[in-house]
Structure 1
Amino acid sequence: MELQPEGTKEVVYRIDPFSIIFRELDLIHSEIREIKSEIVFLHQRIDETNKRIDETNKRIDEMNKRIDELNMRVDQKIDETNKRIDETNKRIDELNTAINKRIDETNLRIDALARDINRRLDKLFLVVIINLIAIIGFLFKIILNGLIK
């Protein structure tokens, strides 16, 4: 038996253009459903992220409020401390003025006392010198009287 060559037949199919369009529309429709489900998922994630951002912003606002309160308290303490320092400086200046005045008065009294003491010492030295001269004169008189006799 001999092999017979197969015969070729030409078969022509007719394609309905609407079937191709509907097939493509079905594919696009399924992709659209997938995209919609992804969009829903993304919206959920965005909502969660926005909630977390809102919570973080709320915490940041609370922290800023506490920081502002602390800054106000620190400023009050600094102002109180500066006021106390100014009062202390004023008292120190007043005391310094009073002490300098008393020192000046004491120096004037010491100078007056020193002048008085120096004047009295000068008088004393004059009296001592006069007495020494008188004693020396008296001794000369005794010596001269002793030699003459």
Structure 2
Amino acid sequence: MAKRRLKEDGHFCCYICSRTDELQVHHLIYYMFANLVDFEKLKEFCEQVDIYGYGRLLKHTPIMTIDDIRNMMVLCQDHHTGTSDEIGGSTGIHNLPLGEFMMQKLARPGCNPIPQDGESFEEAMERVRQHQKREEPDNG
């Protein structure tokens, strides 16, 4: 039901990179914790982290299940489970702290500090430094 609604409402692309292939629906609060969730707290959280506007739209509707559309985020394979287990780790939400994961969406173009497939952390930071050098104005 939630997946169909996300498609109908035009949200069926990766939240991070906008890809439209290899898509998966991620639970913001993981399915494995469904029996531990205080649904009123989940509703409040989803109203604060309202990425698609459903928190505002459904504000007067209680959340009764972890599968509620307000608890969903569409991600491509790379941003859901990650690109690989090689050097540099992964780009997926299951493998990164939330702040690092969100930098993939929020970083200026060319400044994504998260190592991509096969890239070490040091290589990623060098890529960012090189990009920043190109952006610096010439004061000479």
Give the TM-score category using the shorter length: under 0.3
| Structure having the higher Rg | 1
Structure with the larger RCO, 1 or 2 (CA within 8 Å, 6+ apart):
2
User: TM-score if structure 2 supplies the norm length?
Assistant: 0.14
More strand by share: 2
